[in-house]
Amino acid sequence: MQNSELARNRLDDRLKSIPSPGDLARPHKGWIRAIRDALGMSASELASRVGVRQQTISEIERSEQHDTIRLKTLESVAQAMNCQLVYALIPDTTLEEILMNQARHRAIQHLEAISQHSRLEDQAVSNKELADQIEELAVLLAGRRGLWTEEPVASQ
C-alpha cells in the first residue's frame, strides 16, 4: 500500500466520526455572538478577557459573519470564552471516492481521443468495453502524479 493510499484511508476513517457540516452550521449572527449571548457575556466583558477594546469585539463578530475572520483571532476569542476552536476540511464524500472520480475523469479524457480515432477507423468498442477500459485506466492513474493538473498524467 502506498503512503498516499495509507494516508487517505486513515483520514477517511477519522472523518467518518465527524458530524456532517450541516449539523454544525454557523448561527446567523456567528458563533462568537451566539455563545457570548448564551453565556450572558457582554461585548465589553469579552473584550476585557481577550485584551482588546469593546469596538474590536463588534468588528470581530462582523468579520466572522462575513467570513473574513482570521483563525488566530477566532482561536483567541474562543479561549476567552472557555471554548475550543475546531478547524477541519470535511470532504463531500470519502477521499478515496474523490480520487477515483478524478481518475475516471482523466481516464475519460484520455480515452475519448483514442475512441474518436478508433471510430474513424471503424474499430469502435462497445459501451461495456469502454466502461471497463475507463475503470482500468482510472485505477492506474489514481496512483500517479499529475492527476489534478490539466496536463497529461505523468507515467511512472
pLDDT value of residue 73: 97
For residues 65 and 120, what is the distance between their CA atoms, to the nearest angstrom? 57
| Angle, CA 17 vertex, CA 15 and CA 23 arms, to 5° | 95
- In this predicted structure, the answer to whether residue 8 has a pLDDT above a threshold of 50 is yes
Quote the crossing angle between the two packed helices 43-50 and 71-80, to the nearest 10°: 110
DSSP 103-151: HHHHHHHHHHHHHHHHHHTT-PPPHHHHHHHHHHHHHHHHTSTTTTSSS
| 77/114: higher pLDDT | 77
Tell me the pLDDT tens digit for each residue of 125-142.
Answer: 677 888 888 999 999 999
**Residue 142, C-alpha cell as written in the block:** 489514481
pLDDT in tens, 71-100: 999 999 999 999 999 888 889 899 999 999
Place of cell 471554548: 83
Angle between helices 95-120 and 3-15 (to 10 degrees): 130
Higher pLDDT among residues 40 and 4, named by residue: 40
Look up residue 36 and give its three cell numbers: 457570548
Q: How confident is the model at residue 151 (pLDDT cuts 50, 70, 90)?
A: low
Higher-pLDDT residue of 55 and 153 is 55
Q: Which residues 6+ apart lie within 8 Å of 72 measured at CB? A: none
pLDDT for 156 equals 46
Q: Is 84 helix (H, G, I), strand (E, B) or coil?
A: coil
Instruction: Return the closest-CA partner of residue 42 out of 69, 68, 81, 82.
Output: 81
**For 26-60, how does the pLDDT look when each residue is reduced to its tens digit (9 = 90+)?**
999 999 999 999 999 999 999 999 999 999 999 99
Residue 155 scores a pLDDT above 70 = no
Amino acid 125: pLDDT: 65
pLDDT over threshold 60, residue 117: no
Mean local confidence (pLDDT), 113-118: 64
Walk me through the domains of the chain, giving residue ranges and CATH numbers.
Answer: 1-17+91-156 (no CATH), 19-80 (1.10.260)
Calculate mean pLDDT across residues 10-38: 89
Task: Give the number of other CB atoms < 10 A from CB of residue 105.
Answer: 14
